[in-house]
Structure 1
Amino acid sequence: MASLPPWGTPRRQPWHLRPIAWLTGVGLITAGGITVVVLVVLLTAPDDDRYWVYQASVNEAVSKPCEQMQLVGEDIPFYLTPEDGTATVRRFVDVGREIPAAIDGVEGADAGALRWRDDWNRVLAAVERYADDLEADGQATYVSPEDEQGQPVTMSMSSASDVPCELPTAVLLLDQADSDAY
């Protein structure tokens, strides 16, 4: 006959029958599964159309043109006659073209730098069309270039580099400006 444990000594269940062991095991398996699913989703997610210019050679090349563009951009008043507005916007476009030209001057510029260059070219072309329309009849509507997801390219451009190279506020506001704003 088997002997019973002395009174007061609890009998231990085998590990596979203990609820805490089961809960810990289920939790670890669940956490592992969630981790795998998250990694698969992150690694196979479509490109959100953002890019980063990390090449020191590109950042160095655009440093001076970006500085000049921002200085000229600060001089764009929000309300002007169409003639004065056209002149300041054209000056901004002329100075801004130095940015994509500087990127073109960098041998071996990576894909992010080339996308940034292309976005600069698209925005500058749109601003130039705005100036042309403004000059033609004093009325103009700015149409901001968009990426593949229908978002303004200015969203990606402004935070694409360590170099301060944001579009001036007056240019960003052209999107919301009334056609008679200048």
Structure 2
Amino acid sequence: MSKPALRYLSLGFLVSAIVLAGYRLFFYDVQTIASEDTVVEESALTKEEVSYKEKYEALLAETEIANLEKETATSEPDAVKEEATSESTESAEAESSEPSEKKITVTINDGDPSSVASQQLQAQGLIEDAFDFDGFLENNDYAALIRPGSYEVSSEMDYEQLANVLMGNN
């Protein structure tokens, strides 16, 4: 190689090194590239988290139902004794009073599944079967739309009206 050709080759290496150093100094952002990689990983984890959350809510609902069944099984003997003593007073009150609208406040905490609201409504006597109401919510895709908070509901409402109140569409 001749001397001028070697000079131009070294000058080319120097110019390319300066251009690359300038790009890295002014335009290259390590955090942006790293965050793009984590965004892809987070979206993959989100799908997994959704399935785990659904499984957790189902398990939570099952354990709550089991706990309620245990509570009702232990409280039934006491309720039978109380019913026998107060049956005469209740029958007199039932005859004198006409059926009236019953207003109840239902409280749903953040992260509670829809089955909690169904069980509260059943415990208050607004619905007869919590499983039926929960099935209604699932079939109409209302279960995921129930919002946390305190809601005023009445005994005159049907399933659709109860669902609208619990979704905050009132």
Length-normalised TM-score, structure 2: 0.29
Higher helix fraction (1 or 2): 2
Q: Which has the higher strand share?
A: 2
Q: Which has the larger radius of gyration?
A: 2
